């Protein structure tokens, strides 16, 4: 593969393959490089490596799993997180337990407020949009440009406060969602974060977040 071919493989193409395959970004980039930028050929490369299955597994029910903990800063910060999978066998594997520890550690370090974008309430979203629109309008830019600025600000908001959108602290080139997708491809089961809680000594409040599915089941 030439340097010219590698240069043509931009982030949008890599993201498209990731969305299609569920494989980690780094593996998608390598597959595209190997396939000289051809999407379908790159998808076949991932399939041969058993990495194009995460997206298909995403809809499968996860009723097993484990609760993990992480204590940081001399006992000043603590995290509980429930990570689900499809079978107790997978929940007991070293790979699953490693993922559980990594996610708990990440939450301790970054203090996300939501599991994913879908848990952000309309009230929270509208409040942020109002702030960003006011900030953008103050620049005197035209409406079309203001909307582009708004999109960028919202993307940054999701990255800062939604666990699955956050860059993994141990590997900033992949998000938590991509980290999980890599384990899904390796273990052959759907894996999902159900809920988490983060406590800090002396803080006025604490963070508790759960998926919509967990909320609905609690109401039932």
Provide the domain count of the chain: 3
Same domain? 13 vs 93: no
Tell me, what's the pLDDT at 145?
A: 81
Same domain? 166 vs 154: no
CA angle, 124 then 147 then 160, to 5°: 40
Q: What percent of the chain has pLDDT over 90?
A: 39
pLDDT tens digits along 117-154 = 999 988 988 898 888 888 877 877 787 887 888 888 88
pTM: 0.71
The residue to which tokens 């999109």 are assigned: 151
The residue to which tokens 């990570």 are assigned: 83
Eight-state DSSP code of residue 126: H
Same domain? 125 vs 214: no
Tell me, what's the pLDDT at 2?
A: 44
Same domain? 172 vs 155: no
Same domain? 76 vs 12: no
> And the tokens for 103?
């996610």
- CB-CB neighbours of 196 under 10 Å: 24
Backbone angles phi and psi of 178, in degrees to 5: -70, -35
Tell me, what's the pLDDT at 5?
A: 45
Same domain? 84 vs 95: yes
- Which residue, of 52, 70, 85, is where some domain finishes? 52
Same domain? 184 vs 142: no
Helix (H/G/I), strand (E/B), else coil: 86 = coil
For the chain, 220 residues long, give each residue's pLDDT as a single digit of tens: 444 444 468 788 888 887 767 677 778 888 888 888 888 888 888 777 666 555 555 556 678 999 999 999 789 999 999 999 999 999 999 999 999 999 999 999 999 999 999 999 889 888 988 888 888 778 777 878 878 888 888 889 999 999 999 999 999 988 999 899 889 888 888 999 999 999 999 888 888 888 877 666 666 5
CA angle, 167 then 168 then 171, to 5°: 105
List the beta bridge partners of residue 198. Answer: 79, 207
> And the tokens for 101?
């520890």
Same domain? 143 vs 167: no
Backbone angles phi and psi of 150, in degrees to 5: -60, -45
Dist CA 140 CA 51 (whole Å): 47
- The domain that holds 133 is classified in CATH as 1.10.286
Task: For residue 148, give its domain range.
Answer: 121-159
């Amino acid at each position: 593969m030439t340097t010219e071919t590698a240069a043509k493989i931009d982030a949008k193409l890599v993201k498209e393959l990731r969305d299609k395959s569920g494989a980690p970004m780094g593996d998608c980039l390598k597959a595209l490089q190997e396939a000289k930028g051809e999407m379908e050929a790159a998808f076949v490369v991932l399939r041969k490596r058993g990495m194009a299955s995460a997206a298909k597994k995403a809809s499968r029910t996860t009723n097993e799993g484990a609760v993990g903990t992480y204590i940081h800063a001399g006992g000043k910060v603590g995290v509980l997180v429930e990570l689900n999978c499809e079978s107790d066998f997978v929940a007991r594997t070293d790979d699953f337990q490693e993922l559980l520890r990594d996610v708990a550690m990440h939450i301790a370090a970054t203090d996300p407020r939501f599991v994913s974008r879908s848990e952000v309430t309309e009230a929270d979203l509208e409040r942020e949009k109002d702030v960003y629109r006011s900030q953008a309008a103050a620049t005197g830019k035209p409406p079309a440009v203001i909307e582009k600025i708004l999109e960028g600000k919202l993307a940054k908001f999701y990255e800062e406060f939604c666990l699955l959108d956050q860059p993994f602290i141990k590997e900033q080139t992949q998000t938590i969602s991509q980290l999980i997708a890599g384990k899904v491809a390796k273990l052959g089961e759907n894996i999902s974060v159900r809920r988490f809680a983060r406590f800090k000594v002396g803080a006025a409040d604490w963070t508790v977040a759960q998926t919509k599915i967990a909320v609905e089941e609690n109401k039932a």
